[in-house]
């Protein structure tokens, strides 16, 4: 390839990290729910899309991106709570594909509802005022918003890690994932923990939606391709592993960026090749616990 | 009991099953329930089958095509139809899938006994519909862009092409952009027929102007992030970046190119600049982007038939204006119905002849179907997206150039493999 410079290569890696941040955001919500509840949430992409639409809607009312950034995950998380309490919970104890089918169908209900409410054509969402434009990062110009995205993802991951590893509540969540029965014997209501975890997971999906809204068109179907990518990241990282989701998300981002540079036609396929490769060498994923699913 | 419930949950499914289910889910994700209504056939009605991708990424355009086509049908029926026979539009969702489109078209012909087929919104899907109609000897008027459909390999005498084709569109835009903004060009192209044909159209127009292709970067169709292609484009320092993709791909690519600050030094050009994409993307994102189109509603300022069509569309759709592809639905159906009247019969062979000799001005100025390949010879508009001086919220483009109907802007009949 002609014109390949070190600057371009480095800029490409930064682009990959920014891309990876979106993957990380999506995968941690998915992975969290799977790791704790053993539910494969096929509505994850739809929650993400609902987050983006809710962001557009609330931005129209508040005119403040930062307020939306707080409100959207809370609102989408609340939808998640309702879904867990009334739809997912009755299915615990049944075969694992029951909740899978439920969430799969739920995804379509969300998409159709948004189509009815907001129309088939997408709606515009501009980058928030203070984060517009590109800045010189020493190796070239890079969009400020994408830098913000990398930072925001880092903060969220750190916060989530501290919450799960360092708080008493996190301890209960981790215990619940390992052995819910003992937890029950100790007098803790496991169903409440599952409820909360589902709420947090879907809330993060909603947050990724509003964070991604300035990057791409907000459309009813925006969650469909993203769901596939999120699954790839989760499987590569190891289902249920937070550090796995982060590592795999960044890895997938950089792989996409590099194939886009050298073999653009292969950009979409590359992540699936990566997944196949990882599964061949390490079937449980990079950081997954073997035998989690039986 | 939590214990038994939980252990059952954990042992229910193997990793492989999950992965298989996941893959199945991803495959199924492209499939959504169809919305069409099955109209009841009236005795003796002139039936027009109308397969378009109502669901999926081009749903907005497809629904607009239906609305516009319905106006052509209503007009025809309000004028008394043909010898007392009224026209009827049978809309089907082809889901943007060539296989689905072939099945629906076959059903329309075999089961619903349609007289003619008009529709499609994809380079690949229209070829699939054309395969069916050509075999059954049914007229098909395609309202979607394609170069291949006019080539002798795919074409038949039942094939008409109402839409522009990539050669005409990219040619007009290229002639405008390369002489105005510069000769060094990078293409960002969706990796399928539509994208490839557009690049070919740009390059053949560019050759005469001395334009130079620095790179043709092909991206997978339906990508939602283009950022990974942009640093390289920036480092190539072109004068013009041609984004040869469609629908949401176009919105995302333009949005991200704007975000990366590409517009400061590079003129962004799209072969087909879509009204719906511009509306979905917003004014700031598309500001200054130049592209081609078959129709823009502001044509009504200069063309009386455009005004008449827009008024009918506005009256039927709560003041909304027709989009480019939507308008094609109107012209596609109206030309077939006009040919029926001119022929004095619904007989296919006679209607084909009537369409061949049609000289029409339905909504954008004079048009006719070229003899050798039935391509509609028509004007191509070059438009630029604007964010200021908008008359109202629908006024999103300025018309910066018009290429009048001229066969010399088409690929020659010989190039397409036709004898005459």
Confidence (pLDDT) at B38: 40
Residue B383: name the closest of B363, B409, B403, B405 by CA: B403
d(CA B351, CA A199): 62
Which candidate from A95, A142, A190 shows the least CB-CB separation from B2? A190
Give the closest-approach CA distance of A74 to chain B in angstroms.
26
Q: What is the pLDDT of residue B380?
A: 97
Phi, psi angles (nearest 5°) of residue B118: -130, 145
Given this model, what pLDDT does residue A278 score?
Answer: 93
- Give the C-alpha distances (Å, rounded to integers) separating B370 from A87, B10, B150, B200: 60, 66, 10, 21
Q: Is the pLDDT of residue B28 over 80?
A: no
Six-digit token string for B20:
């298989």
CA distance A33 to A202: 8
Residue of chain A with shortest Cα separation from B227: A15
pLDDT tier at B19, thresholds 50, 70, 90 = low
**The pLDDT of residue A65 is above 60:** yes
DSSP E strand boundaries for A59-196 = 134-136, 141-143
- State the Cα–Cα distance between residues A15 and A254, nearest whole angstrom: 8
B27 inside 8 A of chain A by CB: no
Split at pLDDT 50, 70, 90, the class of B9 is very low
| CB atoms A264 and B21 under 8 Å | no
Is a pLDDT exceeding 70 seen at residue A274? Answer: yes
Contact A3 B235 (CB under 8 A): yes
What is the model's pLDDT at position B12?
A: 45
**8 Å CB contact of B29 and A11:** no
Query: Taking CB atoms and an 8 Å limit, are B260 and A217 in contact across chains?
Result: no
Q: What is the mean pLDDT of chain A?
A: 90
Given a contact cutoff of 8 angstroms between Cβ atoms, the answer to whether A40 and B22 are in contact is: yes
**Rounded average pLDDT over B101-113:** 97
Question: Are the beta carbons of A121 and B256 separated by less than 8 Å?
Answer: no
How long a stretch of residues is chain A? 294
pLDDT digits (tens, 9 = 90+) for B201-248: 999 999 999 999 999 999 988 888 999 999 999 999 999 999 999 888
Question: Looking at residues A238-249, what average pLDDT do you find?
Answer: 90
Contact B15 A143 (CB under 8 A): no
Q: B46-164+301-378: what fold?
A: Rossmann fold (3.40.50)
Residue A235 lies in domain: 6-122+137-281
Per-residue pLDDT, averaged over B358-378, amounts to 97
C-alpha B358/C-alpha B342 separation (Å) is 9
| Angle, CA B15 vertex, CA B11 and CA B16 arms, to 5° | 120
The pLDDT, as a whole number, for residue A190 is 84
Is residue B57 less than 8 Å (CB to CB) from chain A? yes
Q: With an 8 Å Cβ cutoff, are A141 and B234 in contact?
A: yes
Closest CA in chain A for residue B4: A93
pLDDT at B150 exceeding the cut of 50: yes
What is the enclosing helix (H) or strand (E) of A198? helix A190-212
The tens digit of pLDDT for each residue in B151-209 reads 999 999 999 999 999 999 999 999 999 999 999 999 999 998 889 999 999 999 999 99
Task: Work out how many domains chain A is built from and give that number.
Answer: 1
Sorting pLDDT into bands at 50, 70 and 90, what band is A5?
Answer: confident
Between A170 and A249, where is the model more confident? A249
Map out the domains of chain B as residue ranges. 46-164+301-378, 167-293+381-409
Task: Classify residue A288: in a domain, yes or no.
Answer: no
Q: Which comes out higher in pLDDT, residue A290 or A210?
A: A210
Asked if residues A103 and A42 have their Cβ atoms less than 8 Å apart, the reply is yes
8 Å CB contact between A30 and A240: no
Q: Which of residues 378-417 of B touch A (CB under 8 A)?
A: none
Q: Is B3 on the interface with A (CB under 8 A)?
A: yes
Tell me the pLDDT band of B420, cut-offs 50, 70 and 90: low
Residues A110 and A46: their CA atoms lie apart, in Å, by 6
Rounded to an integer, what distance in angstroms lies between the CA atom of residue B286 and that of residue B254?
7
Q: A229-238, B10-19, B400-409: lowest mean pLDDT where? A: B10-19
Cross-chain Cβ contact A12/B9 below 8 Å: no
- Are A265 and B220 inside 8 Å of each other by CB? yes
The span from the CA of B204 to the CA of B209, in Å, is 9
Residue A294 DSSP symbol: -
Which residue is closest to B7 within chain A, CA to CA?
A93
3-class secondary-structure state, position A26: helix
Q: What is the 3-state secondary structure (H, E, C) of chain B?
A: CHHHHHHHHHHCCCHHHHHHHHHHHHHHHCCCCCCCCCCCCCCCCEEEEEEECCCCCCHHHHHHHHHHHHHHHHHHHHCCCECCECEEEEEEECCCCHHHHHHHHHHHHHCCCCCEEEECCCHHHHHHHHHHHHHHCCEEEECCCCCHHHCCCCCCCCEEECCCCHHHHHHHHHHHHHHHHCCEEEEEEECCHHHHHHHHHHHHHHHHHCCEEEEEEEECCCCCCCHHHHHHHHHHCCCEEEEECCCHHHHHHHHHHHHCCHHHCCEEEEEECCHHHHHHHCHHHHCCCEEEECCCHHHHHCCHHHHHHHHHHHHHCCCCCCCHHHHHHHHHHHHHHHHHHHHCCCCHHHHHHHHHCCEECCCCCCEEECCCCCEEECCEEEEEECCCCCCCCCCCEEEEEEECCCHHHCCCCCCCCCCC
Selection from B5, B375, B358, B390 nearest residue B154 by Cα: B375
Nearest C-alpha in B relative to A217? B252
* Residues B4-8, mean pLDDT to the nearest whole number: 42
Tell me the torsion sign for CA atoms A33, A35, A40, A42.
positive
What pLDDT, on a 0 to 100 scale, did the predictor assign at position A216? 87
**Does residue A132 sit within a domain?**
no
Asked if the C-beta of B318 comes within 8 angstroms of chain A's C-beta atoms, the answer is no
Measured between CA atoms, the residue of chain B closest to residue A227 is: B26
Q: Which residue of B has its CA nearest to A34?
A: B10
Instruction: Determine which of A91, A267, A291 to mutate to test the interface with B (most B C-beta atoms within 10 Å).
Output: A267
- Tell me whether residues A264 and B218 touch, CB distance under 8 A: yes
Structural domain contains residue A183: yes
Give the fold, CATH level 3, of B167-293+381-409: Rossmann fold (3.40.50)
pLDDT surpassing 90 at residue A80: yes
User: d(Cα B281, Cα B283) in Å, to the nearest integer?
Assistant: 7
Q: Tokens 């002139």 map to which residue?
A: B46
Please report the pLDDT score of residue A169 as a whole number: 85
Bridge partner residues of B88 (DSSP): B47
Chain B residues 116-155 within an 8 A CB cutoff of chain A: none
Contact A294 B11 (CB under 8 A): yes
In the sheet with B359-360, reading across from the earlier edge strand, the strands are: B359-360, B367-369, B376-377
Whole-number pLDDT of residue B354:
97
How far is CA B107 from each of CA A102, B43, B73, B154, B235, rounded to the nearest angstrom? 33, 19, 21, 21, 52
- Model confidence at B31: pLDDT above 70: no
Question: B159-161 and B139-142 as β-strands: parallel, antiparallel, unpaired?
Answer: parallel
pLDDT on residue B37: 38
Judge whether residue B369 has pLDDT over 60.
yes
Which residue among B223, B224, B281 places its CB closest to the CB of A222?
B224
Percent of chain B surpassing pLDDT 90: 79
**Cβ pair B351, B336 in contact under 8 A:** yes
Task: Tell me which residue in A7, A122, A293 faces B248 most closely, judged by beta carbons.
Answer: A122
Residues in chain A with CB shorter than 8 Å from the CB of B235 are 3, 5, 7-8, 140
Name the one residue in this structure whose structure tokens are 């994208």: B195
For chain B, give the mean pLDDT: 89
Torsion of CA B358, B363, B366, B372, to 10 degrees: -50
Surface-to-core class of residue A5, CB atoms within 10 Å of its CB (0-12 exposed, 13-18 middle, 19+ buried):
exposed
In three-state secondary structure terms, A239 is coil
Instruction: CATH number of the domain at A26, please.
Output: 1.10.3470
């Amino acid at each position: 390839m002609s014109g390949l410079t070190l600057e371009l290569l480095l800029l490409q890696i930064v682009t990959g990290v920014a891309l990876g941040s979106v993957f990380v955001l999506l995968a941690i919500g998915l992975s969290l729910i799977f790791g704790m509840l053993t539910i494969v949430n096929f509505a994850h992409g739809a929650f993400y899309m609902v987050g983006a639409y809710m962001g557009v809607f609330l931005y129209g009312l508040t005119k403040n991106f930062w307020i939306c950034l707080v409100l959207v995950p809370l609102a989408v998380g609340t939808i998640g709570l309702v879904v867990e309490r009334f739809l997912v919970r009755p299915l615990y104890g049944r075969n694992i594909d029951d909740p899978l089918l439920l969430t799969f169908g739920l995804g379509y209900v969300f998409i159709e509802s948004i189509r009815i409410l907001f129309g088939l054509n997408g709606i515009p969402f501009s980058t928030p005022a203070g984060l517009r434009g590109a800045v010189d990062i020493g190796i070239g110009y890079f969009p400020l918003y994408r830098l913000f995205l990398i930072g925001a993802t880092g903060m969220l991951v750190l916060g989530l890690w501290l919450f799960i590893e360092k708080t008493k509540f996190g301890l209960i969540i981790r215990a619940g994932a390992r052995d819910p029965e003992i937890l029950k014997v100790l007098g803790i209501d496991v169903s409440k923990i599952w409820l909360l975890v589902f709420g947090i997971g879907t809330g993060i999906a909603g947050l990724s939606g509003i964070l991604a809204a300035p990057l791409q068109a907000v459309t009813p179907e925006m969650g469909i391709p993203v769901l596939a990518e999120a699954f790839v990241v989760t499987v590569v990282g190891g289902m249920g592993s937070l550090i796995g989701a982060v590592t795999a998300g960044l890895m997938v981002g950089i792989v996409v960026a590099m194939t886009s540079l050298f073999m653009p036609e292969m950009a979409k396929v590359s992540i699936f090749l990566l997944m196949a490769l990882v599964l061949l060498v390490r079937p449980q994923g990079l950081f997954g616990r073997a035998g989690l699913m039986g | 009991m939590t214990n038994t419930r939980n252990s059952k949950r954990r042992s229910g499914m193997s990793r492989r099953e999950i992965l298989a289910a996941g893959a199945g889910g991803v495959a199924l994700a492209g499939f959504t329930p169809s919305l069409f209504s099955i109209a009841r056939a009236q005795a003796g009605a002139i039936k027009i089958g109308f397969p378009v991708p109502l669901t999926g990424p081009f749903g907005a355009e497809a629904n607009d095509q239906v609305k516009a086509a319905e106006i052509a049908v209503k007009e025809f029926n309000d004028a008394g139809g043909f010898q007392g026979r009224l026209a009827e539009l049978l809309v089907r969702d082809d889901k943007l899938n060539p296989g689905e489109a072939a099945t629906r078209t076959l059903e329309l012909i075999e089961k619903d006994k349609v007289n003619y087929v008009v529709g499609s919104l994809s380079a690949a899907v229209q070829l699939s519909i054309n395969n069916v109609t050509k075999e059954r000897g049914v007229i098909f008027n395609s309202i979607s862009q394609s170069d291949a459909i006019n080539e002798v390999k795919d074409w038949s005498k039942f094939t008409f092409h109402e839409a522009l084709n990539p050669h005409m569109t990219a040619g007009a835009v290229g002639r405008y952009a390369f002489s105005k903004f510069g000769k060094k060009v990078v293409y960002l192209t969706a990796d399928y027929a539509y994208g490839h044909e557009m690049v070919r159209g740009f390059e053949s127009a560019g050759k005469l102007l001395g334009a130079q292709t620095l790179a043709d970067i092909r991206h997978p169709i339906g990508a939602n992030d283009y950022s990974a292609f942009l640093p390289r484009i920036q480092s190539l320092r072109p004068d013009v970046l041609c984004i040869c993709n469609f629908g949401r791909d176009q919105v995302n690519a333009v949005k991200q190119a704007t975000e990366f600050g590409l517009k400061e030094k590079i003129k962004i050009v799209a072969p087909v600049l879509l009204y719906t994409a511009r509306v979905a993307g917003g004014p700031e994102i598309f500001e200054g982007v130049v592209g081609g189109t078959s129709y823009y509603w502001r044509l009504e300022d200069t063309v009386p038939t455009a005004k008449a069509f827009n008024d009918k569309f506005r009256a039927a759709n709560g003041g909304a204006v027709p989009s480019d592809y939507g308008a094609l639905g109107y012209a596609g159906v109206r030309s077939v119905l006009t040919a029926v009247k001119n022929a004095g019969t619904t007989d296919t062979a006679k209607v084909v002849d009537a369409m061949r000799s049609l000289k029409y001005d339905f909504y954008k100025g004079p048009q006719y179907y070229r003899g050798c390949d039935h391509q509609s010879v028509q004007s191509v508009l070059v438009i630029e997206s604007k964010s200021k001086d908008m008359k109202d919220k629908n006024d999103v483009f300025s018309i910066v150039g018009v290429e009048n109907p001229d066969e010399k802007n088409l690929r020659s009949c010989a190039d397409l493999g036709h004898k005459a």
